[in-house]
Amino acid sequence: MKIATLGDIAEWGSGGTPRRSVTAYFGKGTPWLSIADLNDDVVHEARESLTPLGVASSSAKIVPAGAIFVAMYGSIGKLGIAGQEMCTSQAIAFAIPRSDVVDRRYMFHYLLAQRPLLQSRGRGGTQMNIGQADLKAWPIPLPSLDEQRHIAAILDRVNDVRTKRGQAIDLLDELANSIFFDMFGEPSSNPRGMPVRPLGEVAKLKSGAFLPATAMSPVGQHPVYGGNGISGFHDQYLFNTPQIILGRVGMNCGCVHLSPAFSWITDNALYISEMDDVVEMTYLYHALMRANLNQYSSKSAQPLISGARVYGVNLVIPPRVLQTEFATTVDHIDSIKKQQQTHLAQLDTLFVSLQHRAFRGMLWDTPAA
């Protein structure tokens, strides 16, 4: 199989950023991509656009539909394909494939498979990066165009199934939200006139337990929850039943999590230590998620909440029988969601295996018995 470089098979370039102080540079015009706009798929829009003056006054370049985008800073290897004429920041490289030697989807899938290796080439201090020179020199196997199209079609089909499975999981989350509002109404307006009580009357909060950072590792048996969610793993546990956790500090301040059994909750997070019989755990968890607890945080550089700050939050308290009905329904949805997540993990494994075989010329080989 012929081996070429990415520089051999595509025209490469990168974008630029006009001066932010000139408002006339930003506005109606050409979609201007940042890395956050890349989605590992066809990109149809961007959060910002450059006016013709903005494009002319910067090193941003308008590239045609079908160009492949590759993130070079931070999220190295994140990809996109231009769904229309677009331009980008300097953090993104673009490639316009030569259609006489490479199939666009084949090149896209190859870059997707190479992401871990591209990331390993990152260099720098606070933000790892690669350069266009790295990308242009990167080797790529080039079977015939017909075989490239065949490989791309197979990978596209599997990837489409993965995408749909992920969308199904997202829809299950939306289903739980819809059922909550259908049964209890919008909490802030309480259209059904259900009883309302402050959080401090129905639950008590405590800070989690101290755990030295040296006790955590990426491979421990039990998840460790902190103010920003899962922060590591540990081989001991504090709670052997699920717990409702509130992020207490930082960017995730006020966010609500539901930990699994056998988890450790650190002292930079709060947890529900007691609940009155008028509330059921699953209902309380979903009610707190909709309470926007972050609005009760301190207005300091490092946002902070405490039990005292959120005890006054009013919660709608439906009849316990309705809460139990809701919890049973959500448990059923969660069971289906876990099955879907298992299937998605299996598809992910299959996709990686197909990538491995396809780009080593082994896709058509019969596995040994």
Query: Structurally, how many domains does the chain consist of?
Result: 3
Whether residues 329 and 185 fall in one domain: yes
User: Which range of residues forms the domain containing residue 119?
Assistant: 2-142
CA distance 253 to 300: 12
Q: For residue 158, is it within any domain?
A: yes
Q: State the pairing for strand pair 10-14/92-97.
A: antiparallel
Helix (H) and strand (E) counts in the chain: 10, 19
Q: Please list the residues that pair with 209 across neighbouring strands.
A: 266
> Do 300 and 248 share a domain, yes or no?
yes
96 touches 37 (CB < 8 A) = no
Torsion-angle region of 94 (φ positive above 0: left; ψ -120 to 50: alpha; else: beta)? beta
In a shared domain, residues 107 and 204: no
Would you say 254 and 296 are in contact if contact means Cβ atoms under 8 Å apart? yes
**Residues 77 and 70: beta-carbon distance below 8 Å:** yes
Phi, psi (degrees; rounded to nearest 5) at 290: -100, 5
- Co-location of 8 and 135 in the same domain: yes
Which residue, chain included where needed, has tokens 């666009």?
104
Q: What Å distances lie between residue 340 and 40, 142, 175, 242, 326, CA to CA?
A: 21, 36, 14, 22, 21
Give residue 194's identity as a one-letter amino acid code: M
What count of other Cβ atoms lies within 10 Å of the Cβ of residue 183? 15
Helices 145-184, 104-113: crossing angle, 10 deg rounding: 70
Q: What is the CATH number of the domain that holds 263?
A: 3.90.220.20
Residues 172 and 221 in one domain: no
Half-sphere exposure of 70 (CA within 13 A, CB side): 32
The CATH number of whichever domain residue 177 belongs to comes to 1.10.287.1120
Nearest to 330 by CA among 267, 291, 284: 284
Residue 369 inside a domain? The answer is: no
pLDDT tens, N- to C-terminus, the chain (369 residues): 799 999 999 999 999 999 999 999 999 999 999 999 999 999 999 999 999 999 999 999 999 999 999 999 989 999 999 999 999 999 999 999 999 999 999 999 999 999 999 999 999 877 899 999 999 999 999 999 999 999 999 999 999 999 999 999 999 989 999 999 999 999 989 999 999 999 999 999 999 988 887 888 888 888 999 877 788 898 888 889 999 999 888 778 888 999 999 999 988 899 999 999 999 999 999 999 999 888 888 877 788 888 888 999 999 999 999 999 999 999 999 999 999 999 999 999 999 999 989 898 776 554 443
Residue 221, in any domain of the structure: yes
Residue 299 covered by a domain:
yes
CB 31 within 8 A of CB 86: yes
**What whole-number distance in Å separates Cα of residue 297 and Cα of residue 309?**
7
pTM beyond 0.85: no
The CA-atom distances, in angstroms, between 347 and each of 80, 167, 182, 293, 310 are 21, 14, 34, 37, 42
